[in-house]
Every structure is written in structure tokens, then in C-alpha cells.
Amino acid sequence: MSQGTLRLGRREFTAHEPVIMAIVNRTPDSFYDQGATFHDEPALARVEQAVADGAAIIDIGGVKAGPGDAVSAAEEARRTVGFVAEVRRRFPDVVISVDTWRHEVGEAVCEVGADLLNDAWGGVDPKLAEVAARYGVGLVCTHAGGAEPRTRPHRVTYDDVVADILKVTLGLAERAVALGVPRESVLIDPGHDFGKNTRHSLEATRRLGEMVDTGWPVLVSLSNKDFVGETLDRPVKERVLGTLATTAVSAWLGARVYRVHEVAETRQVLDMVATIAGHRAPAVARRGLA
């Protein structure tokens, strides 16, 4: 199946247009920035900088992915809904995504202007897709290996991890479309680190082309994750180079959307890969012509 136009909010993205999704965590205990954007002003400053650096999507999350203090749906909504409304007011054309697995939160953020629901836990709440359909917003369908939200994998095994990724994500995507989510607004995500060990995430990256070949737009969330850290034996704050290398490979293999912390650096990597692939002209081409 060929890649088509991706439609999210007011934006349309062509098949060879890589899209950056900037992470904005409204949590006090996020693994990477440790709460740097928990409060409104630094979070809004982060959005402004991310947009200036080339992000088309802002992904707002109210619960850290890993284990930690319990966060109720009401508290998650408190952290995200008002912020989504303010981002919508200040940045009318940016695509607003919300990272949630709960339909109650999905409903609340769609009411105030969210364009995309990023379900990182693989449809654990089936009503979330129903919310996306009802509001006509996009949905990210992720493989999480059947893991419960906010749990770490333990001795998880697959006969073929990519076959499982394809079965789960394609099933979630087709269900979403059957419910009424616009087909051109559905993405699939291999779910690096979610329900996977490092070797699983590396294999998912190596075989990413199999997901791309389905025709569904592929989102990758690679930024500073444990599989990068274990591959290079680097702590969280020293994983940027490994992340960017993985980003370049994913771009060459055809991923469409990149969920990241480092927007400006990712933009350069994606532009370079797109130019090598022949999908983008060099910004300047004077060498040998003067």
C-alpha cells in the first residue's frame, strides 16, 4: 500500500514530509526533564521554542510512562486540559496531541481543541478510539505487548516481535477506522521499549520498513529511551547521539512522525536524510559553481 497524505488538525503532510512531534510533559517526575515543564510558563515557553525549531505537533502528557506515584484520571485531566486550551489559543495552527490511554481524559482534551490522541499503551482502554471517532481526531495505535500502563517489561518473549507488532497495530488501526476515525488521521507506532527488551526494540527498528510497507503512516518514539541507553551503555542525559542515529535510520526506512525531546537537532537529521533520498533540495548549493 502506498503512503498517502496524513491529515491532523488543520495540517496536511505529504508522503515525503517528515513530521516532528515535540514532547511537553506536564508531570513533576518525567524520566528525561524531571519536571521542567510541569508548570505553565516553562511549558508554554517549551511549546514556543519547539514550534520555532520546526515541530508541527506538540505532544502533551500528564502521566509519566514508567512506574511512579499514582495519577488519577481527574489529576491527569487537571494537568492537561487547561494547558491544551491555552496552546490551542496561542498556536491555532499547531497540531495538538495528547499522550493518554484513558477515554475520560481523551474526551476532555478533545473538547478544548486536541487534534490527536496518542495511545501509547496499545488500546488498553478501547473507549479511547471511540472518543477519537466521535470527535473526528487522529489516533496513534501503538504496540505495547499487552503490558499494563506504567509497567516495565519482565522476561517478555515473542516468536517474532515484528509480526506481533504488525498484528496488533494493524488490528487497532482497522478497528479505529471502522469506528469512524478518519483513515488519513491514523498512525501506527512500534512502541519502542513498551513491552519490549532492548533486542526487541532494535529489531523493530531494523525491520521498520515492514510497517511502512503497510501504507499506514508510522510514528516512532525513540527519544533518549532505554534501548538507546543499553545499546551504548549511556545514562539518560547522554543518549542524544544514539537517538539521532536511530532517527536517521528510521527516516531512511520511511517513518513519517518522530516524537522527540531535541527538536532542532532532529530537524537537521530529517532534512539531511530527506535530501540524500532526493525528497528535498539542499538549502544552499553554491559549491563548485562560483
Residue numbers annotated as active site: 225, 259
What residues form DSSP beta bridges with 8? 11
- Give Cβ neighbours of residue 287 (< 8 Å, ≥ 6 apart): none
Q: What are the φ and ψ backbone dihedral angles of 259, each rounded to 5 degrees?
A: -90, 115
Q: What distance in Å separates the CA atoms of residue 148 and residue 124, rounded to the nearest whole number? A: 7
SS3 95: strand
Task: Using alpha carbons, select from 123, 126, 138 the residue that is nearest to residue 216.
Answer: 138
Sequence-distant (6+) residues with CB within 8 A of 174 are: none
| Distance from C-alpha of 253 to C-alpha of 277, rounded to nearest angstrom | 10
Residues 49 and 44: their CA atoms lie apart, in Å, by 9
Residue 166: enclosing H or E segment and its boundaries? Answer: helix 161-179
DSSP 182-236: -GGGEEEE--TTTT--HHHHHHHHHTHHHHHTTSSPBEEE-TT-HHHHHHHT--G
What's the chain's length in residues? 290
